[in-house]
Amino acid sequence: MSKEAVLVIDMLNDFVSPEGALYCGEEARKIIPYIQGLVEKKRKEGAVIIYLADNHPPDDTEFKRFPPHCVQGTKGAEVIPELKPAPEDYVIPKRRFSGFFQTNLEEVLQKEGIKTVHVVGVCTSICVMETVSDLCAREYEVYVHKGGVADFDAKAHAFALERMEKILGAKIA
């Protein structure tokens, strides 16, 4: 059996806490128990747990399109307390939608011998879909956990799930 990883995408205070700069809404809060259960189960099975964390310099050009969020060194850029990474987990900071853009994610997946990736987090139509696109392009077996992804836009969420399954080839679990 190939080695598995769980990618926990952007479950950060600025997206998932009601006081966050870009709060994704109650739907983002609802997925926390699912993600907790998946991480616990997969960790017991020997999977590698990887947190992808939006992390921007104060003058990031992304702030021309979105309000400032997940600024380096702020509480908003931290993983929510309910999903606190364990010491052996990876936390990979990222500046763009895809977890592969200018990060060491590919290196980590290769070093760990990962073939199958389970994806959870926010937002389904932005960072989740862009990361899944890059995973599929690299021919990983990808499972997007419907109970573990959320979006502030219900239509975009539904579209993203359908696109990831039908166009990118991800399995919706």
Q: Facing residues of 149 across strands? A: 121
- With CA atoms as reference, report the closest residue to 11 among 79, 76, 60: 79
Phi/psi of residue 38, each to 5°? -65, -45
Is this model's pTM higher than 0.95 or not? Answer: yes
Sign of torsion over alpha carbons 60, 123, 101, 94: positive
**pLDDT digits 0-9 by tens, 30-83:** 999 999 999 999 999 999 999 999 999 999 999 999 999 999 999 999 999 999
Single-letter amino acid code for the residue at 147: G
**pLDDT digits 0-9 by tens, 89-99:** 999 999 999 99
Q: Where are the alpha helices (DSSP H) in 62-128?
A: 105-111
**pLDDT digits 0-9 by tens, 107-144:** 999 999 999 999 999 999 999 999 999 999 999 999 99
What is the rounded distance in angstroms from the CA atom of residue 78 to the CA atom of residue 121? 14
Give the pLDDT confidence score for residue 2 in this predicted structure.
67
Q: Which domains are delineated in the chain?
A: 3-172 (3.40.50.850)
37: Cβ contacts below 8 Å, ≥ 6 apart: none
